[in-house]
């Protein structure tokens, strides 16, 4: 039997905090208990927000916690060609389209509909779904606008993608979703509308890179925070469209602050580096996240 493969996949756009420590430790312990492998992936496709200093901080904090990952860690910014190849498959299958509407145009379009009493659909994160008017541009119009240098993103044509996949994808959830979903879950990618798959200057989005990398790294168990539970529907759909293997998923609790809000990278007081300078030990961190 092949060994289970786990991964912890932080973005180096801030310092790791207690929420990351919890996720890394849960992955690490599951790998230990199952005799599995533990990989680290640096999710740095957003080259404007990710920095080498934050990346070094990740290595330092995880080593301090006592975790050992296979070296070298995969850095997404070193693998844009892999994402480009997947994107090209989706372009060739006509499952993505160049979306030109700016944020302002989207807002105006939605405000117009809402003023007429029509409620605009929201995605599971509460953001308005993309209007998708430019899905109907002709090939010549698309080419013309791209040649003019108009900014655009590649968006999934959700309706076509669902039709192409045939059946609604499912996954095996060994943790729990926000509404207690567990066991075999039927994905509803349509709830997200036409999600961004890649940008003009970066051939990937979070959804595309995470799906491609989980497959290329042979991840068998995706263990991550519950905030990504509904996004799994998109990852499952992309796996169907790209013919990729399907891992099992385990969405764990989120570590929240005193006001029951998810911890964020901008709040320095729970950062591992700050806790370390005040004398906290790795055992203290494990206790603080309930894994003592
Ligand atoms: N890079 C994502 C984050 O830092 C996690 C992605 C994942 O685990 O699928 O929130």
The domain spanning residue 45 has which CATH number? 3.40.50.620
- To test the pocket of ligand 1, the residue of 13, 26, 205, 210 to mutate (highest count of ligand atoms within 8 Å of its CB) is 210
127 and 198 both lie in a single domain: yes
CATH code: domain of residue 171: 3.90.800.10
Of 213, 243, 268, the residue at which a domain comes to its end is 213
Instruction: Specify whether 98 is located in the same domain as 185.
Output: yes
The answer to whether position 149 is within a domain reads yes
Same domain, yes or no: 87 and 156: yes
Instruction: Determine contact, residues 75/42, Cβ cutoff 8 Å.
Output: yes
Residue 47 belongs to domain spanning: 1-78+256-292
Q: Give residue 9 CA to ligand 1 midpoint distance, Å.
A: 5
How many domains does the chain contain in total? 2
Instruction: Assess whether 201 and 266 both reside in one domain.
Output: no
Dist. CA 7 → ligand 1 center (Å):
10
Q: How much distance in Å is there from the Cα of 10 to the middle of ligand 1? A: 5
pLDDT tens digits, one per residue of 98-115: 999 999 999 999 999 999
Determine the pLDDT at residue 269. 67
Residues 2-30: pLDDT tens digits? Answer: 899 999 999 999 999 999 999 999 999 99
pLDDT of residue 267: 59
User: Are 73 and 122 in a shared domain?
Assistant: no
Instruction: Check pocket membership of 43 for ligand 1, CB cut-off 6 A.
Output: yes
If asked whether residues 60 and 70 sit together in one domain, one would say yes
| Residue 262 lies inside a defined structural domain of this protein | yes
Pocket perturbation via mutation, ligand 1, pick of 9, 15, 204, 264 by most ligand atoms within 8 A of CB: 9
Domain assignment of residue 235, yes or no: no
CA of 292 to the centre of ligand 1 (A): 24
pTM: 0.95
With a 6 A CB cut-off, is 228 part of the ligand 1 pocket? Answer: yes
DSSP-derived 3-state class of residue 237: helix
Is residue 220 included in any domain, yes or no?
A: no
Would you say the CB of residue 224 lies under 6 angstroms from ligand 1?
A: yes
Statement to judge: residues 126 and 173 lie in one domain: yes
Evaluate whether residue 228 is within a structural domain. Answer: no
269 within some domain: yes
Ligand 1 touching residue 193 (CB < 6 A): no
Per-residue pLDDT reduced to its tens digit, 111-160: 999 999 899 999 999 999 999 899 999 999 999 999 999 999 999 999 99
Residue 143 CB coordination number (10 Å): 12
Q: Which atom of ligand 1 is nearest to the CA of 224?
A: 8
Asked if the structure places residue 153 within a domain, the reply is yes
Contact 251, 176 (CB under 8 A): yes
**268 pLDDT exceeds 70?**
no
**Of 11, 18, 12, which Cα lies nearest the Cα of 286?**
18
**Residue finishing a domain among 160, 181, 213:** 213
Q: Examine the domain organization and report whether 88 and 200 are in the same domain.
A: yes
CB 37 within 8 A of CB 4: yes
Q: If you search the block for the tokens 């998109």, which residue do you land on?
A: 234
Sheet strands side by side (includes 5-8) = 74-75, 37-42, 5-8, 221-225, 248-252, 170-173, 183-186
User: Do residues 142 and 112 both lie within one domain?
Assistant: yes
- Which domain-ending residue is among 186, 213, 240? 213
Residue 238 maps to a domain: no
The verdict on 176 and 203 lying in the same domain is: yes
Q: Are residues 73 and 100 in the same domain?
A: no
């Amino acid at each position: 039997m092949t060994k289970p493969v786990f991964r912890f996949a932080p973005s180096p756009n801030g310092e790791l905090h207690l929420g990351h420590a919890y996720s890394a430790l849960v992955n690490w312990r599951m790998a230990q208990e199952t005799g599995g492998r533990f990989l680290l992936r640096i999710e740095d496709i957003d080259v404007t927000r990710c920095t080498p200093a934050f990346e070094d901080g990740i290595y330092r904090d995880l080593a301090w916690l006592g975790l050992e990952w296979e070296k070298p860690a995969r850095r997404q910014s070193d693998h844009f060609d892999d994402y480009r190849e997947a994107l090209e498959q989706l372009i060739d299958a006509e499952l993505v389209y160049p979306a030109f509407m700016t944020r302002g145009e989207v807002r105006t379009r939605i405000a117009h509909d809402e003023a007429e009493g029509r409620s605009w659909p929201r995605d599971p994160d509460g953001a308005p779904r993309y209007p998708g008017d430019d899905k109907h541009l002709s090939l010549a119009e698309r080419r013309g606008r791209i040649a003019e240098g108009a900014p655009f993103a590649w968006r999934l044509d959700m309706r076509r993608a669902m039709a192409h996949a045939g059946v609604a994808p499912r996954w095996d959830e060994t943790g729990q979703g926000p509404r207690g979903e567990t066991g075999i879950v039927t994905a509803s990618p349509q709830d997200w509308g036409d999600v961004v798959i890649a940008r003009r200057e970066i051939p990937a989005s979070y959804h595309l890179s995470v799906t491609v990398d989980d497959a290329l790294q042979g991840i068998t168990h995706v263990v991550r925070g519950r905030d990504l539970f509904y996004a799994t529907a998109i990852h499952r759909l992309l796996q169907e469209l790209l013919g990729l293997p399907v891992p099992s998923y385990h969405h764990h609790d989120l570590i929240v602050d005193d006001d029951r809000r998810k911890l964020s990278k901008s709040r320095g007081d729970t950062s591992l580096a700050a806790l370390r300078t005040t004398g906290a030990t790795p055992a203290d961190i494990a206790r603080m996240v309930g894994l003592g």
